Structure 1
Amino acid sequence: MRKTAGPRAGEVIHTPSARRLKYGELAAEAAMIPPPAKVVLKNTDEFKLIGTPVRRLDVSGKVNGSALYGIDARPPGLKIATLAQSPVFGGRLKKVDDSAAMAIKGVRQIVRLDDAVAVVADHMGAAKKGLAALKIEWEDGRHAGLSTQDIARELEDATLKAGPIAQDIGDAAKALAGAATRVQASYHLPFLAHATMEPMNCTVHFRGDECEIWVGTQAIARVQAMAAKATGLPPDKVTVHNHLIGGGFGRRLEADGAVRAVEIAKQVDGPVKVVWTREEDIQHDMYRPYWVDRIEAGLDESGRPVAWTNRFAGSSVIARWLPPAFRNGLDPDTTEGAIDLVYSLPNFHVEYVRVEPPGIPTAFWRSVGPSHNVFVTESFIDELAAAAKQDAVAYRRALLDHNPRAKAVLELAAEKAGWGTPLPQGRGLGVALQNVFGSHLAQVAEVEVAKDGSVRVHRVVCAMDCGIVVNPDTVQAQIQSGVMFGVTAALYGEITLKGGRVEQANFDTYQMLRIDQAPSIEVYLVKSAEPPGGMGEAGTSGIVPAVANAIFAATGRRLRKMPIDFNALKT
């Protein structure tokens, strides 16, 4: 092959003859060329596409309705089902009177399972009416008396006992003993639901010797494997058609909804789409774990931290979801954001105590382990700045001489937010800094606290160094959505249990951030030649402590438990 000029718009051009060939037309011949021993990568200044904003190709379909989500699957002969599962996790179905349900027009069949009952109908309206007409008796089982307070006490007790060491630097115990000032705190983070906009759903056609599934999933191989187990079929007899998902946030990494649909479909002749009501979704989610941290630091005479210890307790999702990654009582998800902090901390000790709550299924939730850990570490570093009577940004900056990337995003966010500019009474700025998912992010939140205790997040300024930016539009969108998700959790997110039952049921009791409550969000990207980092979750983990720290700046009241207790902020 003769030497040619450089590529233009996906083509290779032969300069003397001006002939052009697309990359694909040359792929077979290029594959036969031995790869060079050393490849000199293009300098980032020479990039023509990487780093330029490009519109997504899937937007038009999502806007005009032509895009197909899992809930849009409609194989021929489809019936619709909805279900009720035991209101107490681990409970069982005792008996059902279905006479009134079967009299409803459009209801075709009642399916009974060990811990659930489903109504199969011609359409969702009939299925819901049929479900409401059922007279169901449940056996609640051993978790009938469980409450959130029970779980919190168990976790608090667990933090009094030693656990596997996640990171140990220097001699934290000795440094604490000799510190001029000691600061202690205990933090609580609640169970959280995913509340995806598209209801949980799965369509299944079980034919006895094969099974066909239509679903929107984040883990298609997991759906296939668990459906094969539920049917007793080999995996190659289970076909899964994956679709777009109307919000996953980790919920659709799980295959429980598909397995439930398979269990129902095994009793139905023809394809059946199982759609969870919003109440069923929120009360039978797999939740972000409840966490309790017991944390302490020692400061020298100048207020600089000389020791940091943290022992936290909660569920390990990795231990269930990917057991080989849980080793020696630790896993990388549970500890990310609690160890390898951006700050210079000469004596540092972190332990994790695994405690699985009784009867409550836990799962990944957007920003996973850092959604817990960054709230604790960034709230606590703010507490240390306050104890040292120093500015929160200046205090952090003084601990970042060894970390220029972290210092750069901190300074950029503070500058763009107008840090240090006087604000009206009742308003405050709060900052959070993190290096998780391979990206450095600083966020400054401007928050207003009214006399009645209500909180309004007016503005969020974000400075991001995620390495090489491929599409800045996508980075900005991911940070914006992550901030909205995190502000929702800060203000409203909490799943509680009473009598073994989840108390929240729909968006009236598990509230989402409304459009008129949305803050303005500014995103500033640092030009970087470092390898690309993760973007989909970073915006969520950092905004919660930024909001909490802003509330402290506005009111002087420190929040160590989420969501925000508005009553505690009343003046």
Structure 2
Amino acid sequence: MNLSKTQTFSRRSFLKTSALASGGILISFNLFTACKDHVEPPIDISQLNFNDFNAFIRISDEGKVTIFSPNPEIGQGVKTSMPMLIAEELDVPWEDVYVQQGKLDTKNYSRQMAGGSQSIRHGWEPLRQTGATAKQMLVNAAAAKWGVSASECKASLGVITNKKGEKLGYGDVVKEAALLKVPEDVKLKDPKDFTIIGKDISNVDIDEIITGKPLFGLDYKEEGLLYASVLRPPAFGQVLESFDDTDTKNVNGVIDVIKFGDKIAVLARNTWTAMKGKKALKALWKEGSKAESTEFHDAELLKILNGNKFKTRRKDGNVKKAFAEADKILERIYESPFLPHNCMEPMNFFAHVTEEKINLVGPIQTPKSTADRVAKLLERDISEVSLKMTRMGGGFGRRLYGDFALEAAEVSNLAKKPVKVVFSREDDMTAGTYRPATKYKIAASIKDGKLTGYHLKEACINRNMYGLIPNFFPAAAIENYQVDTANYKSNITTGAWRAPYTNFLASAEQSFFDELAEVLEVDRVQLHLDLLENVKNNPKPNIEYSPERLQGVIKMVVDTSNWGKTEAGVYQGFSVYYCHNTHVAEVADIIMENGNPVVKKVTCAVDCGIVVNPLGALNQIKGGVIDGIGHAMYGELTFKEGRPQSNNFNTYQLIRMGQTPQVDVHFVKSDIAPTGLGEPTLPPVGAAVANAIYKATGKRLTKQPYIHNMDLEKVVG
């Protein structure tokens, strides 16, 4: 049983020391790093004796600690939680820690990216080792200064003491510590001794965010900067035939018009002028490949579901035999649309390409692969590329794809000037990389009142990577179990969207299990608990989830949600799911107002191991729940002849403030290493809401967005 693949690390791979000319200890570590706030420091750290390095922890003679963060911050809180790990083991006061954002540095860091809710999980041990090793070196230096054994000394809150009661601050011994040998083995704290981990710590950038200080890609400026607004094909499948830029060049303030590929960039001194110039362009487009519409996609996916061109991802037992012998078969098709990412901050990136260097600056989740792609595009050596990361106003997977950075680099290379490409909201929604439309066919066989077989088929637009997650629940819970996938290749660009693969799969499967429990005439919750008992009795389950931990969150959410005991007019739906190494169960409470469902409350039980920063964790959990409700209820992007039919929020509905429910969060107490939180609470909430709607209306919803598909003829009765 693989619950959480063991991470192995070599201390020498992420830890080294160096004596600074100014004094101080320099510690680098080879994973997601950490950060601390810029909240008006009590002293001006720029005046301390620091050298300007990237990707290192530095301790000044004054005992202050600066941590450079090489990993991208997309709102998931790693710029706060990562330094907490180091500060905890370093035993330094949190108020003495300061943070700066590092740039891409492949020599000192690995996995310098943000995705998959894996930051804390991967950084948990090595970052704590970094802090603990630094502390031991400081203790060793103090012991040498006193002429006593290091075992007679203790370090706490940046101060080292010996048995005589003598004290030295970290800054008092930092020069000596920098010259010592790096300890091979250090002891990490027992979780019961944590003083920082597990405490509410405010977002380290919060003051800058609320006061409008420059943090984000859109804030970045440089002397001589030109802003570029890019005209792209208005429909997927179209290519540029010709264009007339006469009117554009007559717009006051337009500096240049540059064609690259099938795109045209308008350059100006500000975004308004660049966008105005783009609107004045006259372009003629022609069909390069098939222009596809939503109706076409629906037909193709249904054709795939009813065909036999699938790849089997997992096959336990004999599903075909189980279905042939069944007394009853329950089968449903679940459908989800394309979704844009709709980050608060539209895509943007800065590039300045010169003969000597390629300087890139902006919000990106994958800095290394983006730098590699730019180097390849411009046929330059990767050593010539420098990439600096800004804070991101949302990512959700969209900023895994550096298309906007490549545009900036190509335009700058052609213009021979520093260029910043800025998407408008319309650009962002119509030239996006979308969550692919997907259809699932789920069937279950029943014999003598027992569940005997389960067959899950996926038909998806462009999904040719991992397809379904075959080792998630209900894998190993049902003797005869099969998972198959197939895809239709489209020219519409698709990619990861918050909680890839599981964001709709959880809704489909957990809606199906709710109906299956009814057909089996068993309690919905008990059905899950019993199936998980089957997993525990399976000698070779080959799964990624823990049946015990799933049972734990199920029992917790039942106990905390007032399950089955609500007042009249309140209807509840249950859902449970595992993804991104985290176990989550949710109960949605809805009421009906004027014939429409209103989600009033969601109770969420979460087992994510040790909670590093409860305040940040709550924000991630509540954000995931609300985002999941909004897109399950309202989100839908359709296409007509390759053209997106929504380009702004007047035609694309996001959840509104007044539609957000109360979210009650309960954590399972644990001493297990932490797991993901940015994504796991989103997938199960769609089914919790759909199952509650069934309780209220007697109608099964199988197609998202639910609010648009509640007509009686569109739901399963």
Match of 1:345 in 2: 478
Match of 1:307 in 2: 453
Residues 162, 138 of structure 1: CA spacing in aligned structure 2 closer, same or farther, 3 A cutoff?
Answer: closer
From 548, 554, 566, the equivalent of 1:410 is: 554
**In structure 2, what is the equivalent of residue 518 of structure 1?**
660
CA distance in 2, matches of 1:518, 1:481: 10
- Residues 96-245 of structure 1 mapped to structure 2, 5 A cutoff: 96-144=243-291, 146-159=292-305, 160-245=307-392
Rounded to whole Å, the distance in 1 between the matches of 2:567 and 2:408 is 54
Checking the alignment, whether the CA contact within 8 Å between 1:180 and 1:301 is kept in structure 2 is yes
Provide the rounded CA distance (Å) in 2 between the counterparts of 1:549 and 1:30.
Answer: 62
- Deviation string 1:56-91 (CA, Å, 9 cap, x unpaired) is 222111111124111111110112121220012242
CA distance in 1, matches of 2:553, 2:656: 29
1:33 alignment counterpart: 183
Q: Calculate the aligned-residue CA RMSD, in Å.
A: 2.3
Secondary structure of 2:497 counterpart: coil
CA distance, structure 1, for counterparts of residue 309 and residue 686 of structure 2: 28
Q: Could you report, residue by residue, the CA deviation over 1:150-180 in whole angstroms, capped at 9, with x for unpaired residues?
A: 2222222223215232222222222223333
Structure 1 CA distance, aligned partners of 2:559 and 2:394? Answer: 34
Q: Does 1:64 align with 2:211?
A: yes
For residues 72-87 of structure 1, the aligned pairs below 5 Å read: 72-87=219-234
Q: 1:285: how far off?
A: 0.5
Letter in 1 for 2:703: K
**1:370 has 2:494 as partner:** no
For residue 416 of structure 1, report the CA deviation from its aligned partner.
1.7
CA offsets 1:118-157 (integer angstroms, 9 cap, x no match): 211121221222122222211132223x112222222222
- Measure the CA separation in 1 of the matches of 2:498 and 2:423: 21
Distance 1:514 1:388, change over 3 A: same
Distance 1:89 1:54, change over 3 A: same
Structure 1, 20-29 or 118-127: larger mean CA deviation: 20-29
User: Equivalent residues in 2 for 1:319-330 (5 A)?
Assistant: none
Q: Deviations over 1:288-333 (max 9, x none)?
A: 112111111123434x42211112122565x5xxxxxx5xxxx3xx
Q: Deviations over 1:226-272 (max 9, x none)?
A: 11122121111122121001000011110111111222222324212
Shifted more, 386-395 versus 289-298: the winner is 386-395
Cα deviation code 1:514-541 (max 9, x no counterpart):
1121111111001012221111101111
What are the Cα deviations for residues 474-499 of structure 1, in whole angstroms up to 9, with x where unaligned?
21111111112111211121121111
One-letter code aligned to 2:293: S
Worse-superposed segment, 244-253 or 306-315: 306-315
Three-state SS of the structure 1 residue aligned to 2:152 is coil
Q: Does 1:394 align with 2:542?
A: no
DSSP 3-state at the match of 2:627: helix
Q: Which amino acid aligns with 2:468?
A: T
Alignment of 1:409-558 (within 5 A): 409-425=553-569, 427-452=570-595, 454-558=596-700
Identity of aligned residues (%): 30
Does structure 2 retain, via aligned residues, the 8 Å contact 1:14–1:20?
Answer: no
Residues in 1 aligned to 2:214 and 2:554: alpha-carbon distance in whole angstroms: 40
Structure 1, unaligned runs of 5 or more: 320-325
* DSSP 3-state at the match of 2:332: strand
1:187 maps to amino acid = Y
Question: Could you say which structure has the greater relative contact order, defined with CA pairs below 8 angstroms and 6 or more residues apart?
Answer: 1
Amino acid at match of 2:236: F
> What one-letter code is carried by the residue in structure 2 that aligns with 1:288?
R
Q: 4+ runs of 1 displaced by more than 4 Å? A: 26-31
Q: Deviations over 1:513-570 (max 9, x none)?
A: 1112111111100101222111110111111111111111111111111111445347
Q: What amino acid maps onto 2:648 in structure 1?
A: N
Q: Look up the match of 2:515.
A: 383
Q: Which residue identity does 1:314 align to in structure 2?
A: C
Q: Distance in 1 between matches of 2:253 and 2:156?
A: 60
Contact 1:338 1:374 in 2 (8 A): no
SS at match of 1:95: strand
Distance 1:186 1:10, change over 3 A: farther
CA–CA separation in structure 1 for the residues paired with 2:422 and 2:697: 45
1:447 aligned partner, one-letter code: I
Q: Supply the distance in 2 between the matched residues of 1:236 and 1:438 (Cα, whole angstroms).
A: 36
Deviations 1:410-433 (A, max 9, x none): 1211222211124444x4211110
TM superposition shift of 1:455: 3.2
Moved more, 217-226 or 20-29: 20-29
In 1, distance between residues paired with 2:451 and 2:169?
A: 62
Q: Which one is further off, 478-487 or 391-400? A: 391-400
For the residue of structure 1 that corresponds to 2:203, the secondary structure is coil
Matched residue SS, 1:186 = strand
Count of equivalent residues = 550
Give distance in 1, aligned partners of 2:364 and 2:230: 20
Aligned match for 2:469, one of 322, 336, 339 = 336
Cα deviation code 1:361-414 (max 9, x no counterpart): 111111111113212221111110121233322332332333222112112112
The answer to whether the Cα contact below 8 Å between 1:342 and 1:434 also exists between their aligned partners in 2 is: no
